[in-house]
Amino acid sequence: MRLVPLLISAVVTTGLVVTLSMPLGSIPPLGGFLSPQEGFWQNAEPTDQDYTMTLRLPPLKEQAEVYFDDRLVPHVFAQNDEDLYFIQGYLHAKFRLWQMEFQTHAAAGRLSEVLGRGEENRILDFDRNMRRLGMVYAANNSLQVMESDTTTKKVLDAYTAGVNSYIDQLTAGSLPLEYRLLNYRPEHWTNLKTALFLKYMSYDLTGSENDIEYTNAKSVLSRELFDRLYPITQDSLYPIVPKGTDFPLPAIQPVAPATADSLYFRWKDSATIVPINKPDKDNGSNNWAVSGNKTQSGRPILCNDPHLGLSLPSLWFEMQLHTPQSNAYGASFPGSPAIIIGFTDQVAWGVTNASRDVKDYYAIRFKDESRQEYWFDSAWKPAIVKTEAFKVKGGPVVLDTVAYTIFGPVQYDASFNGFDRATAETNLAVRWQAHDGSNELKTFYLLNRATGYADYLDAIKHFTCPGQNFVFASKDNQIAIWQQGLFPAKWKRQGDFVMPGTDSSYRWQGNIPQPENPNVTTGVDFVSSANQLPADTTYPYYLGGNFDLYRGFAINRYLRQMQGITVEDMQALQTQNYNVFAEMALPVLLKNIKEHMLANDEKALLETVRSWNLRNDPEEKGVAIFTAWFSNLEAEVWSDELAAAPKPVIMPESFTLVEALLRDSAFAQADNITTPNKETVADVVTTAFKKAVPLLKKADAEGRLAWGKYKDSGIRHLLRQAPLSRFHLNTGGGEHVINATKQFHGPSWRMIVHLTDKTDAWGIYPGGQQGNPGSKYYDNFVDDWAAGKYKKLWMMTETEGKSPQVKYTMTFNKL
């Protein structure tokens, strides 16, 4: 009788096959995953991979060539725009498909679809937050505008067709690794996804309003004290537009509502809210251009390094895009057509964040819990109620309803308290500049074809949100900078706090006309921006927002002194680790510390910081001591004032404390109001130092006090998978320093363009051209980036196809 063993072995075999074909928890189906013929091993790219190939793709109009250099940068030579953007889409997908889709899923509030709802619904709440902010609504509005423009419609369609042409020929073997790990498949690309990607950048760069935090602080602070803690200007300000510039009379003069003092500024209003998913407040950047008067060659040099969250695969993908009518080189966004930061044969451009506040909250009064009607201008007004559906991996669909008011969607209400962000009584609608349809893509399309200042100015006028400082330089020796965007004309402190949503008088009253945006276009040898206030208080509009101070101060001080500038000088400046913030703050601390109250081990640390050279170099220990000391001082000084405020509140900016101490040696807020004693500046400075010591001593004992180790920079994979990330990079720099490399945040692309006859350009980003973690091109720029090195950028000409710099050639044929 062999039947029994036959049955048993047949059942075991079937059982094994079925088990290995199913996902087990977070483990993908192991059979297919481990198979060397179809599974993850297929992502292990041979280190001598040959990228040369010939493709035949039906939508192409004419033949095109793509030359890859030794860093795997594609130089696309197409005969027309449609083919150009088709190929750009194809290449973005070939190298970065998973990331493109993942980022647009994030923008659209669809991460739960692929990741599940997450611990304590974190991922689902992230998704709900994005939908309730109106991300999809905003992207659809912009898509309409982009598609009503024949040029951008053509570009979008070609790009989308290119991405889909790649997706359609994907095989089990060529599926990106992350799809395998998460066990899903890519869907088709659409023009809406490109719009979503661009809105995600708006979200990332205009998300740092503090309306709710300020409202909470305001509820316990007097008006005078509030202005002292959260001032609207700074003593050490070195604005983008030089001080003393005359501004024309404003075209719009916004008027504060008659009820502002009683309804808006009354200092006892509060919203009990904890911030969630707020973009990093240091999403900023540096850029500058120097004219030929300051350079050794007599030609301008333009520099830009956008500071963003650093991730793998990188946000950027380097490319050259060439047709007989246009030629542009630089960093592109996988997910969007065109070059975003780069140069043409005649001009170069770069961007930093304007950091203006274009996102305001309004308290809405609903008639009842159904949230169908709200009180507005003395009547009940119907809200538009939208139902949002969330597909959740491994669970049922979740539905959510969002009420849209005249201001915008009600992001926070009783149904969505996120991470306990809102109370059930608070309904907050959000008015966000990015809700309005706009066509930022047109700016990049036109910049990619710019031949001079007039083209640049014409191009940037299409850019409305997020507001950016566009720096410019051209080979005919012109330099310029415009803070470009569509900015609401606000009365002083409008939108710094949650506004009443029952009255039209609190709405935005119009936009600042574009020609009145801050700009510097003549009469200077250099222009620069580093997220500082664009102008001093003589600028006729309220500038509301969060601004950096010290990077801009440092850059301008260096540029003013420099002469005979070379590319090497600019590389040194872009990676400069000198800490101007410490230069101003440390003497005050050292002057006030009561040394006689310190123990010997504390004195040793004090000696280290006293002899520090004020440079945030990786081997310096003084910077760690200073940083810990100062942050303890901030806590000592401000916590008591803010203790009674509902949470969350936000600490005043570092410069506020430094400038207060420099201005006033008997600084009143030094006193801890919760103790009977009257603490002086010297008292709090000494206490703060003593409080910092234990952690510093621990770090020193473990060999982690040197700044590079103390800061411990890294670049994380988008899924936060440690093995796919790069940790423990020994880098200098940091907050308030020109080299703005923080732990997981910093210069995401460093570019220097010397506008000589044959453009001499340099750049690097912390990543690699391949999104595939199994490729040697996945992270091959990281070490050089960390060391502050640059790569020469090759603006290739069509005749150089046979150059030894060309490693591989992809030929795109029409059918």
Partner 1 sequence: MKFIVSIILTALLSFAAGLYLGWWSLAVAAFMVAALIPQKPWKAYLSGFLGLFLLWGLLACWIDMKNQHILSQKMAQVFPLGGSWILLILVTALVAALVAGFAALTGSYVRKK
Rounded least distance, CB 673 to partner 1, Å = 51
Residue with tokens 């501004």: 247
Rounded least distance, CB 726 to partner 1, Å = 11
The two structure tokens encoding residue 301: 């040099």
d(CA 664, CA 671): 14
Give the DSSP letter of residue 60: -
d(CA 446, CA 575): 30
- Our finding on whether 20 is near partner 1 (CB under 8 A) is yes
Rounded least distance, CB 720 to partner 1, Å = 12
- Our finding on whether 31 is near partner 1 (CB under 8 A) is yes
Is the CB of 30 or the CB of 252 nearer to partner 1? 30
Q: By CB under 8 A, name the one of 25, 46, 676, 703 that touches partner 1.
A: 46
- Our finding on whether 36 is near partner 1 (CB under 8 A) is yes
Is the CB of 17 or the CB of 258 nearer to partner 1? 17
Closest CA to 608 of 706, 681, 695, 682: 706
- The region of 2-10, 284-292, 701-709, 804-812 touching partner 1 under the rule CB under 8 A is 2-10
Q: How far is CA 502 from CA 211, 377, 444, 482, in A?
A: 18, 6, 39, 36
- Our finding on whether 22 is near partner 1 (CB under 8 A) is no
- Our finding on whether 313 is near partner 1 (CB under 8 A) is no
- H/E run at residue 809: strand 806-813
Is the CB of 721 or the CB of 756 nearer to partner 1? 721
Q: By CB under 8 A, name the one of 39, 618, 648, 732 that touches partner 1.
A: 39
d(CA 320, CA 554): 33
Is the CB of 23 or the CB of 774 nearer to partner 1? 774
Is the CB of 48 or the CB of 120 nearer to partner 1? 48
- Our finding on whether 803 is near partner 1 (CB under 8 A) is no
Which of 339-358 are b and which e, b meaning 16 or more Cβ less than 10 Å from the residue's Cβ?
Answer: bbbbbbbbbbbbbbbbbbbb
Cβ atoms within 10 Å, residue 597: 13
Q: Please, is 810 exposed, middle or buried when counting C-beta atoms within 10 Å of its C-beta (0-12, 13-18, 19+)? A: buried
Is the CB of 470 or the CB of 781 nearer to partner 1? 781
Q: Please, is 731 exposed, middle or buried when counting C-beta atoms within 10 Å of its C-beta (0-12, 13-18, 19+)? A: buried
Rounded least distance, CB 12 to partner 1, Å = 5
Q: By CB under 8 A, name the one of 257, 622, 773, 788 that touches partner 1.
A: 773
Identity of the residue numbered 254? P
- The region of 17-25, 433-441, 509-517, 584-592 touching partner 1 under the rule CB under 8 A is 17-25
- The region of 25-33, 119-127, 389-397, 562-570 touching partner 1 under the rule CB under 8 A is 25-33
Please give the full DSSP string across 319-363, using - where no structure is assigned.
Answer: EEEEETTEEEEEEE-TTSSS-SEEEESSEEEEEEE--B--EEEEE
Is the CB of 46 or the CB of 703 nearer to partner 1? 46
- Our finding on whether 780 is near partner 1 (CB under 8 A) is no
**Dihedral sign (CA 123, 129, 134, 138):** negative
Q: By CB under 8 A, name the one of 22, 24, 44, 572 that touches partner 1.
A: 44
- Our finding on whether 760 is near partner 1 (CB under 8 A) is no
Q: By CB under 8 A, name the one of 282, 669, 698, 721 that touches partner 1.
A: 721
Residue with tokens 């570009």: 155
- Our finding on whether 43 is near partner 1 (CB under 8 A) is yes
Site string for partner 1, 130-169 (x = CB under 8 A): ----------------------------------------
- Our finding on whether 23 is near partner 1 (CB under 8 A) is no
First to last CA, the chain: 63
Q: How far is CA 281 from CA 127, 349, 512, 546, 675, in A?
A: 21, 24, 24, 8, 33
Q: By CB under 8 A, name the one of 24, 41, 727, 792 that touches partner 1.
A: 41
Please give the full DSSP string across 393-442, using - where no structure is assigned.
Answer: TTS--EEEEEEE-SSSBEEEBTTB-TTT-S-TT--EEEEEGGGS---HHH
Is the CB of 175 or the CB of 338 nearer to partner 1? 175
* Size of interface with partner 1, in residues (CB under 8 A): 40
The two structure tokens encoding residue 626: 């200073």
- The region of 45-53, 120-128, 410-418, 686-694 touching partner 1 under the rule CB under 8 A is 45-53
Strands 347-353 and 468-474, bridge-based pairing: antiparallel
- Our finding on whether 16 is near partner 1 (CB under 8 A) is yes
- Our finding on whether 6 is near partner 1 (CB under 8 A) is yes
The two structure tokens encoding residue 384: 């538009």
Is the CB of 38 or the CB of 388 nearer to partner 1? 38
The two structure tokens encoding residue 70: 């030794």
Q: By CB under 8 A, name the one of 22, 23, 24, 32 that touches partner 1.
A: 32
- Our finding on whether 13 is near partner 1 (CB under 8 A) is yes
- Our finding on whether 55 is near partner 1 (CB under 8 A) is no
719: three-class secondary structure by DSSP: coil
Q: By CB under 8 A, name the one of 23, 118, 540, 774 that touches partner 1.
A: 774
- Our finding on whether 724 is near partner 1 (CB under 8 A) is yes
Q: By CB under 8 A, name the one of 722, 784, 792, 801 that touches partner 1.
A: 722
Percent helix, strand and coil across the chain, each rounded to 5?
Answer: 35, 20, 45
494 close to 359: Cβ distance less than 8 angstroms? no
- Our finding on whether 250 is near partner 1 (CB under 8 A) is no
- Our finding on whether 728 is near partner 1 (CB under 8 A) is no
- The region of 41-49, 350-358, 384-392, 739-747 touching partner 1 under the rule CB under 8 A is 41-49
The two structure tokens encoding residue 90: 């194809």
Q: By CB under 8 A, name the one of 111, 115, 181, 549 that touches partner 1.
A: 181
Q: How far is CA 33 from CA 13, 493, 776, in A?
A: 18, 56, 21
- Our finding on whether 25 is near partner 1 (CB under 8 A) is no
Q: By CB under 8 A, name the one of 122, 367, 690, 776 that touches partner 1.
A: 776
Q: Which residues of the shown chain bind partner 1 in the complex (CB under 8 A)?
A: 2, 5-6, 9-10, 12-13, 16-17, 20-21, 30-32, 34-48, 177, 181, 721-724, 773-776, 778
